Structure 1
Amino acid sequence: MQKGSCNCGGVAFQIAEPLQPPSVCHCGQCRKQSGHVWASAVTHQADLRLTAQDSLRWYSASDTARRGFCGTCGAFLFWQHNDEDTISVAMGALEAPTELRLARHIFVADKGDYYDITDELPQNAQ
């Protein structure tokens, strides 16, 4: 079981099943929301159990997705497509050891001009 939380503990969660291999998103929205790139792993919504949620807030990032964050400390924790039963969970919110390794980069066509991707992981334009 994987556990995680925001900085202040106002949002905490457990994930029952193993997470899918994480990816790094380079899209403009993730960069603005996180301050750089956003690393996350996907799980089924039914496998995510919130153990604290008093400060959980949702932001409708687009017509098709929303982003979950802590309204107290501001930590960006979740990304969820409106029409899917999965949810992306911030790698930085997970307690160590995660026993996971990055698998790929996504939305590299939108990456910032201030850095290069120098690892050997697969890169998806979208």
Structure 2
Amino acid sequence: MHKGSCLCGAIQFSVSAPLAPPTACHCIQCRKQTGHFEAGTDVPKSALSVTGEENLRWYHSSEKVRRGFCGTCGSALFFDPVHLDWIGIFMGAFDGPTHTKLAQHIFTAEKGDYYDITDGLPQNQH
């Protein structure tokens, strides 16, 4: 079981499935939402349990995706492709060790010019 929360603790969650190796997304939307690039893992929606859901707010960044964040402290938490059976959880929201490592970088063609990706992991421009 993996647990996490927003910055203020108004939203807490647990995941009852193993965490897939996370992907770092450098797209413009993820950079604007998080203030840098986003690293997240995908889990089955059925494996996610959320408490404090009344504090959870959703921003529909497209017809296919909504992004979940805390309405109190603003912490970015979830990436939800609404028509699929999985949800992305931002790695920084987990409490304690996750026992996983970053697997790849995506949308590197949109990365910020103020940093380099030098970890040797696979990089996909899209």
Same fold (TM over 0.5): yes
Q: Which residue of 2 aligns with 1:65?
A: 65
For structure 1, which segment, 51-60 or 3-12, has the greater mean C-alpha deviation from structure 2 after superposition? Answer: 51-60
1:3 corresponds to which letter in structure 2?
A: K
In structure 1, distance between residues paired with 2:76 and 2:15: 17
In structure 1, distance between residues paired with 2:102 and 2:76: 19
> Does structure 1 residue 28 correspond to structure 2 residue 28?
yes
In structure 2, distance between residues paired with 1:12 and 1:54: 11
| 3-state SS, counterpart of residue 54 of structure 2 | coil
Superposed CA deviations along residues 14-39 of structure 1, whole A, max 9, x for unmatched, are 00010111011000000000000001
Q: Which residue of 1 aligns with 2:54?
A: 54
TM-score (normalizing by structure 2): 0.97
> Does structure 1 residue 2 correspond to structure 2 residue 27?
no
Superposed CA deviations along residues 87-117 of structure 1, whole A, max 9, x for unmatched, are 0001000011111110100111111111111
> 4+ residue stretches of structure 1 with deviation over 6 A?
none
In structure 1, distance between residues paired with 2:80 and 2:124: 19
* Structure 2 residue ranges without an equivalent (≥5): none
- How many residues align? The count is 126
| 3-state SS, counterpart of residue 97 of structure 1 | coil
Q: Which residue of 1 aligns with 2:104?
A: 104
Residue 52 of structure 1: how far off its partner (Å): 2.3
* Structure 1 residue ranges without an equivalent (≥5): none
TM-score (normalizing by structure 1): 0.97
